[in-house]
Amino acid sequence: MSIQWLAIKPEEPLLLGNVKSNTNFLSTLDYIPGRVLRGAWASWLLNNGFAETVVNKVKGLQIGNFFPTAEWRKIKYVSPFLLSMLTCKQNSGFQTEPYKDNRGHGIVDSLLIQLSYYLLVERKARMCVPFSILCQDEECRSRMEHAGGFFSAQWDEANTNYIRFRPKYHTQTRAAISRYRNASYEGMLYTTTALSPNVDKPDDIRRPADLKFVGRVQGSEDNIENLVGALNETPIGSKCSIGYGRISCKKEQVDLESLENRLEAFNNLLINIGGDLSRLALNENELPERPERDRIYFSLDLMAPAILKDSDGLPSLIPSLQIGGKTIEPIFWLTRPDFAGGWSDTWGLQKQTALAARIGSSYVFKWDGPKETLVNALKNIEDAGVGERRDEGFGECWICHPFHQEVNEK
């Protein structure tokens, strides 16, 4: 089994995976769910004489979600915004955007700051100021709010820049066609709003920027090669017969830091922030020893909605992990409810829906055992995901997302 990053470039507008209701307006998701690619691959296998082995082949390959970005420089990673990421309410956006008109006062991550504050309060610290995060621009000092959507970290030899994905849409109005008469319904129109393959060109490069979706797949080398070949021949999403959904796919080189480095950086920064905040406590000299020095903390960050169940089998928003024969629960989290659903073009029916934890949720755990045991377990969790229906792309996660280190946007 191997893990490979792939890049998908749309050649036509994409109409992806949104729930279809009784309406004349069809919209799209801004990313490609893994279940959409799995359905396209299964369709290709059936159409090319692999009907007897289609179930084994599809189950033998885990396809993650593919997130959008404007290709500008070498990609470190592409990610949805986390719930812990905050931006200025008055002037939102990254300071390092290549698009000058889109630059804002910066986007920072608040997870480690909130976690440090929580650990201090747990140690009975009496803080002299309430917890609040304001814009760091001296002339602004506005409130901060959650930044939604998707972003990518791209770098050159000098530094790393962050790009917020701003989608463009392709809208058409058409006549509804009867499946039985192959003729239009009188007086019935519908409007599709699809994701355009075009993106804005960054200000400081001459060549056009390409929209592409980056994600990872896990399975045998043969299955991955077959998937790439199938996606180059099979459109994805809806309305493929009228000029939507054609894509090209190839392998991609992504420079995501190793899990060990992310884990170490996460804990080192937690110690530093905890030391800075503890100086604000009125009873600093009375506080017990800092727990972050003796334990290992890590975050689990959702790259897709996760369908979770508690110990009684009931829907939940909080995951539990099995590590070293122990069940551990999160000590701190930032999450919101969502639902997991979809649409089956094969059956023309909505898929089963379930309560889910929202994409971008973060959960913090602590570990008291051997570091080697933890690292090996976390690698398996990051590869496999959490929760149910993971073969459809739900439950994909990263451990200690690299943006948690951006307490100040660099």
Successive 10-residue mean pLDDT values, the chain, 410 residues: 90 79 77 89 86 80 91 87 92 81 85 90 79 80 86 82 87 78 74 84 59 91 91 89 90 90 93 83 77 83 94 92 92 93 64 90 94 94 92 90 79
Number of domains in the chain: 2
* Residue span of the structural domain in which 198 resides: 2-81+162-251
Same domain, 113 and 240: no
Strands 184-195 and 25-26, by their bridges, are parallel
Is 227 inside a domain boundary? yes
Is 91 inside a domain boundary? no
pLDDT at 376: 95
pLDDT at 99: 74
Same domain, 141 and 241: no
Is 229 inside a domain boundary? yes
Write down which residue in 217, 251, 285 finishes a domain: 251
| CA-based max dimension of the chain | 82
Any residues with CB less than 8 A from the CB of 294 and at least 6 apart, and which? 368
CA distance 187 to 184: 9
Same domain, 281 and 226: no
Is 313 inside a domain boundary? yes
**Among candidates 193, 200, 201, which has minimal Cα distance to 169?**
193
CA distance 377 to 384: 11
Same domain, 236 and 271: no
Is 204 inside a domain boundary? yes
CA distance 340 to 359: 10
Same domain, 55 and 125: no
This prediction's pTM: 0.89
Write down which residue in 231, 251, 271 finishes a domain: 251
Same domain, 68 and 137: no
> Could you tell me if 101 and 80 are in contact, meaning their C-beta atoms sit under 8 angstroms apart?
no
pLDDT at 239: 83
Same domain, 344 and 378: yes
Kindly tell me the sign of the dihedral angle through the C-alpha atoms of 138, 142, 144, 145.
Answer: negative
CA distance 51 to 45: 7
